[in-house]
Amino acid sequence: MPNQNKVSKSFADLVDLVETLRGPDGCPWDRKQTVSSVKMYLLEECYEVLDAIEKENSGEECSELGDLLFMILFLTKLSSEKGEFDIVDVIESIVKKMKNRHPHVFGDVKVNGADDVSSNWQKLKMEEKGDIKKKASFLRDVPRGLPALLRAHRLSDKASKVGFDWNNKSHIWEKVEEEFKELSSAVNMDKTEEVEEELGDLIFSLVNLARHWGFNSEKVLSEANRKFLNRFESMEKRLDESGVGIDSATPEEMNSAWDNIKGKTGK
């Protein structure tokens, strides 16, 4: 565990830094910012943290987490200036919330594993919001701003907590096959709007299939993106080594290099 005094001083230094930047003699750019102008930077920093994690670069991850923490403190400072809340309120709120959400750690509730913890978490979360009886609002707190794949995972996962789910992997696989047939039919009939709708239905079904196998589709697709990028870069290198740049290579040359790379990776 980090030295508590060192943690306290480091955090206080960062709070003071934000105060200085927003102060009368601070940075003109920082002083000009509002919640609306800064919120997209927060999202950007979140994605940069995720990128560092996926690259398994601990140094970059540390740096990006620092950037994200700075944005959190900066947004808190903006709200503090309006008399809404300050960093103490933020910290006390999350400490209280996490203790309440972990009664098996900070209370006398008994659980039989991670599934029980997850089920209790959802119930406690609804009770905190005062919506325990509002079934129509059960999925409303899944953020709309999440990436679509992640939101689909969260929506279906949360619905499963009240029993609205496929019974097993084979049932959801049957649904995937059904949606694929409907997409095939729409494609064969060349109906653009139906193709779009059926694509969405198929993707949503695949998200559920991934969830039943214990995967998060956002991570699954991120891994597929990473694999494609690595192969493409390897293909570019192979073409360069053969004296044919990617800009001048024919589709046949690119496919040949791609197949060669794919054959070496075994996937």
Residue 116: the pLDDT is: 82
| pLDDT tier for residue 132 given thresholds of 50, 70 and 90 | very low
23 has pLDDT over 70: yes
Question: Tens digits of per-residue pLDDT, 171-229?
Answer: 999 999 999 999 999 999 999 999 999 999 999 999 999 999 999 998 899 889 888 99
Residue 166 lies inside a defined structural domain of this protein: no
The CATH number that applies at residue 69 is: 1.10.287.1080
pLDDT at 88 over 90: yes
Would you place residue 4 in the very low, low, confident or very high pLDDT band (cuts 50, 70, 90)? confident
pLDDT one-digit tens code per residue, 60-86? 999 999 999 999 999 999 999 999 999
What is the DSSP code string of 37-48?
HHHHHHHHHHHH
Residue 142: predicted pLDDT = 83
Residue 165 lies in a domain: no
What confidence category does residue 89 fall into, taking pLDDT thresholds of 50, 70 and 90? very high
Which of 39, 60, 88 is the last residue before a domain boundary? 88
Last residue of a domain, one of 42, 61, 88: 88
Both tokens of 140, joined, read 């409303």
Pick from 88, 117, 144: which residue ends a domain?
A: 88
pLDDT of residue 1: 66
Chain mean position to CA 14: 26
Is 99 part of any domain? no
Percent of the chain with pLDDT over 70: 95
Whose tokens are 């139906």? That residue is: 194
Query: What's the token pair of residue 52?
Result: 């560092």
Provide the 10 A C-beta neighbour count for residue 195.
17
**Residue 130 binned pLDDT confidence (cut-offs 50, 70, 90):** low
21, part of any domain: yes
CA–chain centroid gap for 155, Å, is 13
Q: What is the mean pLDDT of residues 25-41?
A: 92
Q: Report long-range pairs for 260-264 (Cβ below 8 Å, ≥24 apart).
A: 261/231, 261/234, 261/235, 262/231
Mean pLDDT for the chain? 89
For the stretch 216-252, pLDDT in tens is 998 899 889 888 998 999 999 999 988 888 889 999 9
Q: Is residue 48, in this structure, part of any structural domain at all?
A: yes
pLDDT score of 122 more than 80: no
The verdict on residue 98 lying in a domain is: no
pLDDT-derived band at 263 (thresholds 50, 70, 90) equals: confident
- Cα separation, 91 vs 97, in Å, equals 10
Task: Quote the number of domains for the chain.
Answer: 2
* Banded model confidence at residue 137, pLDDT cuts 50, 70, 90: low
pLDDT digits (tens, 9 = 90+) for 34-44: 998 898 888 88
Backbone angles phi, psi at 244, to 5 degrees: -120, 115
Percent of the chain with pLDDT over 90: 59
Report if residue 169 sits inside a domain.
Answer: no
Query: Whole domain around residue 233: which residue ranges?
Result: 219-265
pLDDT at 30 over 80: yes
pLDDT of residue 85: 96
Asked if residue 59 is part of any domain, the answer here is: yes
Rounded to whole angstroms, the Cα distance separating 100 from 87 reads 20
